[in-house]
Amino acid sequence: MNKESFMKEVERRFIQLFKVSKSGHPIPPVERHRLQGFMQAGVFMELCNRSELNEVMERTHLEIFRKTIEQRKVDAPISWIYEETDYSPYETPAYERRT
């Protein structure tokens, strides 16, 4: 896979998820996590970097919602609760987290 086809697929997936969200349905966590994993794989394989992925996300969001992500967070703060999950506790190995 080359960078161009990878970035087109990322954009396609963002469009799909943002359209679901715009229609009033919650984005299934499995789909959101699938996209996150796909993007992380692209960074790992050096097809792109996080900045490029953020640009695609911002551009696609603006295209679908006619607002930036920041504008939408202000307008509907409740809809972003699940987007800001703190995964930092899982950065420590499980055997060290046991009490």
Average pLDDT of the residues of the chain: 85
Name the residue range of residue 76's domain.
3-97
CB 55 within 8 A of CB 10: no
pLDDT exceeds 50 at position 82? no
Domain count, the chain: 1
Dist CA 40 CA 63 (whole Å): 23
Q: Is the pTM of this model over 0.75?
A: no
- pLDDT: is 89 or 52 the higher one? 52
Taking a C-beta distance cutoff of 8 angstroms, is the pair 3, 47 a contact?
yes
